[in-house]
Amino acid sequence: MSVSNDIATDQRIFRTCQVLQQEGFDVHVAGRRLKDSISINDLPFRTTRFNLPFAKGPLFYASINLRLFFWFLKQKSDLIFANDLDTLPAAWLAAKVKRKRLIYDSHEYFTEVPELQENPFVKKLWESIERFILRRFSGSMITVNESIGCIYAEKYGRQVTVLRNLPLYIAAQKLNNKMLFPADKQVIIYQGALNMGRGLEEMIEAMLYIENALLAVFGEGDVSEALKTKVIELSLGDRIKFYGKKKPEVLREYTREATVGISLERNIGLNYYYALPNKLFDYVQARIPVFVSDLPELRAVVSQYKIGITSSSKDPKEIAKEMSQFLNQDLNKKYSEKLEKAARELCWDIEKEKLVKVLKKNARK
């Protein structure tokens, strides 16, 4: 299996590997090592992480695909599994050379990510790579939601299995007495990558107008330092805390103690417009209501299960007003039963059967 991240906190990879193992596969995942990568020695599958000479840009993608291609050639394998378009070239070519089965899991609408919108030439290059491979690709394709699945099916005339990025079901638990957050404040939690277009800049400014609340930010990314600088400039150090990356089991404990979870992706490209972030479902398993962007996939889940509210505002003052009104409700009374129903249905325990079907279809005769 190939990924372009450092494997350490990729829950979709962990869950996919678990299903592969349950279906009889010996799993080996290759990714990259970052300067701040945490240990992954305790994972139940084999891993390889490459030290690459480039951290981003065309040379990074070229170097990781080159390393992955030769790594794939050396492995004894029955199935090659590529995650996202940025590792697909190596996986596809290796599968062709070795005459092995290939599964491609597209975690997002890669050619529409915000970074590519700013560079039309690079975007066209990735679109050409995607078009070239998917028109010749005879394996199975998976993606994360119905909207993106329909786009790929229409563009390339192929069957696409939708496999949402859902967490394992976790039975509701009483809070312990650790008090990971201040007891006198309601906690607004964000978890995930700190990248452009996640609505964090606006949420930080909104904290100027939200009383008796703490914004707890978990994760790292391209705008981490800019966000921290913004907090300092606005003198919001007592209202906003950055906790960095946490292992999934630790993050779950923090999330359970939060009051509300946010997912405020902005419409800065089709990838974000059709986003269905896994943090939404992590909030559900923690039984906390959500405050999310009014985008199609997010709106559909929140509307169906009635587990929070959507916001279409980009103005920090308006966001603060909506959030303050939300926090002033008796959230436990209003949402606890609905969150329990959603947690039982929006879980990997049910969703993984779609992956099992794909694996059985690709099983060795």
In sequence order, what DSSP letters do the residues of 229-266 get, joined into one string?
Answer: HHHHHTT-TTTEEEEE---HHHHHHHHHH-SEEEE---
Give CATH for domain 186-345: 3.40.50.2000
Q: Which two tokens stand for residue 259?
A: 């009051």
CA 165/CA 187 separation, integer angstroms: 25
Q: Which two tokens stand for residue 290?
A: 């959500």
Which stretches of the chain are assigned E, i.e. beta strand?
28-32, 46-50, 79-83, 101-106, 140-143, 160-162, 186-191, 213-218, 240-244, 260-263, 290-293, 308-311
CATH class for the region spanning 11-166+348-361: alpha beta
For the chain, the structural domain boundaries read 11-166+348-361, 186-345
- The dihedral over CA atoms of 114, 17, 345, 5, expressed in degrees to the nearest 10, equals -20
Q: If you ran DSSP here, which 8-state letter would residue 290 be given?
A: E
Ordered per-residue pLDDT tens for the chain, 365 residues: 999 999 988 889 999 999 999 999 999 999 999 888 888 888 999 999 999 999 888 899 999 999 999 999 999 999 999 999 999 999 999 999 999 999 999 999 999 988 788 889 999 999 999 999 999 988 999 999 999 999 999 999 999 999 999 999 999 887 766 688 988 899 999 999 999 899 999 999 999 999 999 999 999 998 999 999 999 999 999 999 999 988 888 999 999 999 999 999 999 889 999 999 989 999 999 999 999 999 999 999 999 999 999 999 999 999 999 999 999 999 999 999 999 999 999 999 999 999 999 999 987 64
Phi, psi of 298 (to 5 degrees): -65, -45
